Amino acid sequence: MKMFTRRTFTVSALSALTGGALLSQTLYRPGQAAEPASKETYPVTKTPEEWKQSLTPEQYRVLRGHGTERAHSSPLDKTYDPGVYNCAGCGQPLYSSRHKFNSGTGWPSFYQPIEDDAVGTSVDKSFFMTRTEVHCANCGGHLGHIFDDGPKPTGLRHCINGVALKFDPKTGA
């Protein structure tokens, strides 16, 4: 039987902390973004410099660089007032408050878009897993991901970065 020494514990702990720190920097890199590799064209197109002028650094990182905001960081996660959630990049209506639910994940969640053609999807194979990415069909901005653990009637959960949305309060939306 191998003895677990202080040296083994220290080396293991430092390795775990270093690996965790490196992983967290990979998952969350404020201010860093790269244009998506997709060459798909959208009705609204801008150069990277034009996007940087019209978006905050965090919006640019998420919408144009396929980033993810920290869970529970968006006030829109707990907003349940009537209204429409528009794309922060181009203003296209994406989701209605009628389709919003509390998923407990820390991100605004919807079981369907406001219209079927408001969003598009693609396969995301980052971080050693396969997911369905959801983006704005008008400008291609990365919104989040779709999972199959949502409520009826669709069974889907559109897990959306709050920074990718602008809420427009409306009566009866």
The answer to whether residues 42 and 140 touch, using CB atoms and an 8 Å cutoff, is yes
- Positions marked catalytic: 159
Tens digits of residue pLDDT in 97-137: 999 999 999 999 999 999 999 999 998 888 788 889 999 99
Model pTM? 0.77
- Counting beta carbons within 10 angstroms of the beta carbon of residue 10, is it exposed (0 to 12), middle (13 to 18) or buried (19 or more)? exposed
Structural domains of the chain, with CATH: 44-169 (2.170.150.20)
d(C-alpha 64, C-alpha 158), whole Å = 18
Reading the block at residue 131, the tokens are: 């997911």
